[in-house]
Structure 1
Amino acid sequence: MPNRIITSIFCASVAISAMSQTEKSDSIKTQELDEVVVNAQMQRTSPTSTTYIPTVRQKNASQNA
């Protein structure tokens, strides 16, 4: 009798986990974008360091260097 109960619980848990893994279709439409290229004008990067060059406005708004 206890084996039958344990087997029933095991089968029920396997069935529930199998049902929860079914994939539902997403309601949000997606669109694939082309490649994006970013050109930085206020930054210089080398293999050893990166240098940022702030604008005059950024320098005036900063607290310290």
Structure 2
Amino acid sequence: MSWTAAATKVCALLALAAALGWYYGQPLWAVAGTLLLLVGFWLYQMKRVQCWLRSPGEPPPET
């Protein structure tokens, strides 16, 4: 996946969160919560890669 495709997905996710937050009257909290979940997911993915790098005999983790 290219960086432009990844950036487009992140922007679309944030736009959806902002729209839902606006509908419920809390767009800032919706975007902030979405960003926290996204960063948590990225940290989880980085932890999986780090564990794979520590054990070179195993196949790479699935994405």
TM over 0.5: no
- Give the structure with the higher percent helix: 2
Scaled by the length of structure 2, the TM-score of the pair is 0.37
Higher relative contact order (CA 8 A, sep 6+): 2
Scaled by the length of structure 1, the TM-score of the pair is 0.36
Give 1 or 2 for the bigger CA radius of gyration. 1
- Give the structure with the higher percent strand: 1
